[in-house]
Structure 1
Amino acid sequence: MAETARDIADELRERIRSGDLAPGKRLPGEPALVKQHGVAKETARRALMLLVTEGLAVRKKGSGTYVREFQPIRRVANKRLAQEGWGDGRSIWSADVGERPMSVTGLRVYEAPAPDDVARILDLAEGAPVVVRDRLFTVEGEPVQAAISYLPADLVRESAIAQEDTGPGGTYARLAELGAKPVRFIEELRSRMPSQEETDRLHLTEGTPVVEIYRTALTEDGRPVEVNRMLLDAGVYVMEYHITG
């Protein structure tokens, strides 16, 4: 039986995981795979693209496909949202990246009418004002996540949440000071292909999907106080959840 793109990708993946193909090393090109496996060029191309979409490889225009050097980010939702983190003045983001070099770029903070879906989630009137925090997170110089937070303007406009620097513990610590401490969170996730604008902003390689997460933060009495729309490069994240019954 003729080999499929999946068969070839499985073989290359095993070579990557065994260390035979080290980070930064060039993978066999389409002509080499065609010759080695006796398959059509399109099959060889799909095999390489499978590794790209899995985050194991990156394509460099005019050069070839290489084993990805960037190490995956493990996003542990339970850990990053725990009050013991932001309550002690640490950022939620630091729970994901530890000591790895990171930065926030392109930060914009402004007030605007709430989008319809955000107004519905925050239980606001149509077009009610929200404070918007739009930013891009980078790790080791590589953009990995875009995030836009929406918070009721009547609640936060006079606080540091409406400023670029929210202070120790970030937005959730400031909400707690306003008497609106988040104690429960709801996250909805879906995977999809990005728009061209999203591809450009996250510097995604061809064929790489994104994970879109909508998180709602709620107070003890169930009041929604933030909606955060996050867009993650699916090739660099591992999603981990700890669930107890």
Structure 2
Amino acid sequence: MSPLSTGVLGALDPTSDRAVFRQIADQLREAIDKGRFREGEKLPSEAELVEHYGVSRMTVRNSFSILQGEGLVHSEHGRGVFVRPRPPVRRLASDRFARRHREQGKSAFLVEADTVGSHPEVDSLQVKEERATPDVSARLGSVRRVLVRRRRYLLDGRPVEFATSYLPLDIARDTPIAQPNPGPGGIYRRLEELGHRLDHFEEEIKARMPSPDEVATLRLAAGVPVIHLIRTAYDTEGRAVEVCDTVMAADAYVLSYRLPAT
């Protein structure tokens, strides 16, 4: 059934100064946003849109290119153009690092996965000692060398974030934190077992376009930005005990925060 007969798409406005291919992209985008084309659903073919709008194939392809650049659709050779799935992971900022989760043996990522009923995985794990960068050194109180933990997180087989933790060597060397699997509750539970009871976290968040390496690591579609988050963990003595640099696929997360009004 054509998009014209179903009424999903309208007609072009010949009086508009907006380019025809942009008008078509606008209509397709609106249909996606309103759920008229659902996640994973195939969009009308080039031939259908050419017939519907009375335009050239190149015009339709330019419209698809806009939507691909925005990360809304992806093309499958020989099959067509499909609406990209956008499963959200709700990050509860006031809850995901709660001590009760660590005591239950859950890391923050496991808590996040539980909220959406997804299967979590960790791969690309690397643990090594390195010289601290100037930024990391400053955040950790002028330390020179750090234990570095790099890992990629997946939900239901899809990469959603890549995180790197930096910990002072005098805290982490020759402890379970230096092992590939630090044990239930993750490194924050191990830190508390080592006497560094956590007091608070500070996070800096910004959105940006990804680097080529980040596109490959997170398998990002064209046009999908990333959320870049840097978190510093402090113990009750006021010492910074970890810096975590995380890059997340922006189309996979909803950042949700509860902020006090007083």
Per the TM superposition, whether the score is higher than 0.5 is yes
Deviation at 1:218, TM superposition (A): 0.6
Corresponding residue for residue 53 of structure 2:
36
- What is the SS of the residue equivalent to 1:208? coil
- Deviation string 1:9-52 (CA, Å, 9 cap, x unpaired) is 55434433554322211224567279638695576145413651
CA distance in 2, matches of 1:236, 1:60: 21
Structure 1 unmatched runs, 5+: none
Relative to structure 2, which stretch is displaced further, 86-95 or 145-154? 86-95
- Deviation string 1:49-86 (CA, Å, 9 cap, x unpaired) is 3651xxx4334456543112352211222221222212
Amino acid at match of 2:149: R
- Deviation string 1:155-187 (CA, Å, 9 cap, x unpaired) is 111211000111111111000011112221111
Corresponding residue for residue 211 of structure 1:
227
Corresponding residue for residue 3 of structure 2:
none
Corresponding residue for residue 136 of structure 2:
118
1:94 corresponds to 2:110: yes
- What is the SS of the residue equivalent to 2:198? coil
- What is the SS of the residue equivalent to 2:95? helix
Amino acid at match of 1:156: A
Identical pairs, percent:
36
Structure 2 unmatched runs, 5+: 1-15
Deviation at 1:145, TM superposition (A): 0.4
Q: Give the alignment of 1:1-245 within 5 angstroms.
A: 1-3=16-18, 8=24, 11-28=27-44, 32=49, 36=53, 40=59, 44-45=63-64, 47-49=66-68, 51-52=70-71, 56-60=72-76, 63-98=79-114, 99-125=117-143, 128-245=144-261
CA distance in 2, matches of 1:6, 1:185: 44
TM value normalised by structure 1: 0.86
TM value normalised by structure 2: 0.81
CA contact (8 A) 1:190 1:211 kept: yes
Corresponding residue for residue 7 of structure 2:
none
Larger Rg: 2
